[in-house]
Chain A
């Protein structure tokens, strides 16, 4: 009886089979030859980069990937040169829509059976989710995280690096939800103190007695339950930045203590017999008109001048309506990542409603509106029916009808800005960053009638 012949093991996969295997991998994978031209490009790589396989194959990998490291610190080049793998290096790429996508890349060398160098392989995965969560947890926000094309914010961008490096006390004024803490963190992260702590305290959240021990700390035995020393926020922020939010809410007695701390750069923990020196940069914020509070005698004039070395006034969202599409896109992207959804965006009709609303709660309110829409909208585009009813009650007259075209959105927006500026054409043109003659032309072409 003949013995059964062993089945010959298939030695190599066909090109199609290799593609099927590569396409089944969730990570992006591409290979390059020795000239840095892409030889294979899997489905996940297409999805992450937004470049199709047919467009990618044969191109230089740097042109396809568009990563920050491509020209000066190319990982593939390093692997080809040293033969060493690179594992999980965090970089970012820019897709065709201008989005910065954080990715983690790994590289390895490719050789044939005889050990001859064929090229290299790079695998990468989108780590937007991890990055977004990391930023939210660590609150490492920078100017890149402030989304705006409003001219007032742009003017702030111009001067903020100088303010950040100066070390001076800064007062940030703005309505609730305008991003005061985000700006404070951005100033800190741009300053020479960026590696030191940023400590935020909401002054209105604590009664005066607690605020004092919270800010300055206490010594053991200072009061009945003070069993051991507790460092205050000033101590925790040493060499860094202390952010005092809602500064307008603190009581007169506390204002005096704070003034002394700022003037003399020393403070005394409760129950201490000696003053401690501090090296803390102070950034304060308020949603009140501090000047008005000073006039009314509710805020000390000397403290006001002490904290108001440099004042930043953040415009409310209703005065930077041109930012709404950018912010909406940002929040849609963010909630897609956080909630693992694939909402495409927002339709024009819905955008027109959002552009006509006055946002008393500012950006925080807009974020909540989008988050709410995410609960109701399962897929596709966010529609009017996904918005809260309160928005329609306040919608501008112009969009009361069915604003369904881009022209309607533009007209509605222009009208709302004109109203905000009390029909002042010059002010409106300046806010929109256009020449007044362009504004007149637009008003005429959109058929908007202006009051005499």
Chain B
């Protein structure tokens, strides 16, 4: 499974709409995840979503994200964990242990709205609370 984290320096990038770097984790369950750095240069939602899809990404963990961009990504069957903050390594550990819903990983003002809420087209139009 390919999990993408939108990063800036050693943390999750605050706004995905303008983020330029992706840390790609390839998780197979058995081995240590393979890590790759990707650059995203497209600025319009469709192209950003297309690039993620072309890379075979299934899950995106990111900071604040605008609704049109999130919809475009979800329309490609990618599950989005929006409004996440924190040090990249902490967020990876939290994701792998199922603790990403903890309030400490939510951007201020987004608890119970953005973070902790997984949005995925495959799971229907509505939010699934973790």
A residues near B (Cβ < 8 Å) are 49-52, 55-56, 59, 62-64, 66-68, 70-72, 94-100, 142-144, 147, 149, 151, 154, 157-158, 160-161, 190, 322, 326, 433
Q: Are B46 and A433 touching (Cβ within 8 A)?
A: no
A194 CB → nearest B CB, Å: 12
- Which of B15, B45, B47, B75 is the one whose CB lies under 8 Å from A70? B15
A68–B85 alpha-carbon span in the complex (Å): 15
Q: Are B46 and A70 touching (Cβ within 8 A)?
A: no
A59–B50 alpha-carbon span in the complex (Å): 34
- Which of A63, A97, A154 is the one whose CB lies under 8 Å from B75? A154
A98–B17 alpha-carbon span in the complex (Å): 11
Q: Are A98 and B108 touching (Cβ within 8 A)?
A: no
Q: Are A71 and B17 touching (Cβ within 8 A)?
A: no
Q: Are A144 and B45 touching (Cβ within 8 A)?
A: yes
Interface-facing stretch out of B26-34, B60-68, B93-101: B60-68
A31 CB → nearest B CB, Å: 16
A-B contact pairs, 28 of them (CB 8 A): A51-B108, A56-B108, A56-B109, A68-B15, A70-B14, A94-B15, A94-B17, A94-B65, A96-B83, A96-B110, A97-B113, A98-B64, A99-B66, A143-B45, A143-B46, A147-B68, A149-B71, A149-B72, A149-B74, A149-B75, A154-B46, A154-B75, A157-B46, A158-B46, A161-B44, A322-B125, A326-B71, A433-B75
Whether B13 sits at the interface, judged by CB under 8 Å, is yes
Given A66-B15, A154-B46: A59 and B66 interface contact (C-beta under 8 Å): no
Given A68-B18, A151-B75: A96 and B109 interface contact (C-beta under 8 Å): yes
Q: Are B121 and A64 touching (Cβ within 8 A)?
A: no
Give per-residue flags for B32-71: 1 if the beta carbon is below 8 A from chain A beta carbons, else 0.
0000000000001111001000000000000111111011
Q: Are A59 and B14 touching (Cβ within 8 A)?
A: no
- Which 7 pairs, one residue from A and one from B, show the smallest C-beta to C-beta distance? A157-B46, A51-B109, A98-B67, A66-B64, A94-B64, A96-B110, A96-B113
Q: Which residue on B lies nearest to A144, using beta carbons?
A: B68
Q: Are B13 and A71 touching (Cβ within 8 A)?
A: yes
A94–B108 alpha-carbon span in the complex (Å): 12
- Residues in A with CB closer than 8 Å to B108 are 51, 55-56, 59, 63-64
A267–B72 alpha-carbon span in the complex (Å): 42
A147–B113 alpha-carbon span in the complex (Å): 21
- Count of A-B contacts judged by CB separation below 8 Å: 90
A67–B65 alpha-carbon span in the complex (Å): 11
Q: Are B17 and A143 touching (Cβ within 8 A)?
A: no
B32 CB → nearest A CB, Å: 29
Given A62-B14, A96-B109, A433-B121: A161 and B68 interface contact (C-beta under 8 Å): no
A70–B121 alpha-carbon span in the complex (Å): 30
Q: Are A97 and B68 touching (Cβ within 8 A)?
A: no
Q: Which residue on A lies nearest to B67, using beta carbons?
A: A98
Whether B92 sits at the interface, judged by CB under 8 Å, is no
A213–B17 alpha-carbon span in the complex (Å): 46
Q: Are A68 and B44 touching (Cβ within 8 A)?
A: no
A269 CB → nearest B CB, Å: 38
Q: Are B72 and A157 touching (Cβ within 8 A)?
A: yes
- Residues in A with CB closer than 8 Å to B23 are none
Q: Which residue on B lies nearest to A442, using beta carbons?
A: B124
Q: Are B72 and A100 touching (Cβ within 8 A)?
A: no
Q: Are B46 and A66 touching (Cβ within 8 A)?
A: no
Q: Are B46 and A142 touching (Cβ within 8 A)?
A: no
- Which of A50, A63, A161 is the one whose CB lies under 8 Å from B14? A63
- Residues in A with CB closer than 8 Å to B44 are 142-144, 161, 190
A142–B45 alpha-carbon span in the complex (Å): 11
Give per-residue flags for B118-130: 1 if the beta carbon is below 8 A from chain A beta carbons, else 0.
0001000100000
B37 CB → nearest A CB, Å: 17
- Residues in A with CB closer than 8 Å to B14 are 62-63, 66, 70-71
A72–B68 alpha-carbon span in the complex (Å): 23
- Residues in B with CB closer than 8 Å to A96 are 83, 107, 109-110, 113-114
- Residues in B with CB closer than 8 Å to A97 are 67, 113
Query: Which of A50, A154, A160, A322 has its CB near the most chain B CB atoms (within 10 A)?
Result: A154
Other than the given A94-B66, A149-B71, 8 more pairs (CB < 8 A) read: A64-B109, A68-B15, A96-B109, A143-B45, A147-B68, A149-B72, A326-B71, A433-B121
- Residues in A with CB closer than 8 Å to B114 are 96, 98
- Residues in B with CB closer than 8 Å to A160 are 46
Q: Are A99 and B67 touching (Cβ within 8 A)?
A: yes
- Residues in B with CB closer than 8 Å to A51 are 108-109
Give per-residue flags for B78-92: 1 if the beta carbon is below 8 A from chain A beta carbons, else 0.
000011010000000
A400 CB → nearest B CB, Å: 24
- Residues in A with CB closer than 8 Å to B83 are 96
- Which of A49, A52, A100, A158 is the one whose CB lies under 8 Å from B50? A158
- Residues in B with CB closer than 8 Å to A56 are 108-109
A72–B109 alpha-carbon span in the complex (Å): 22
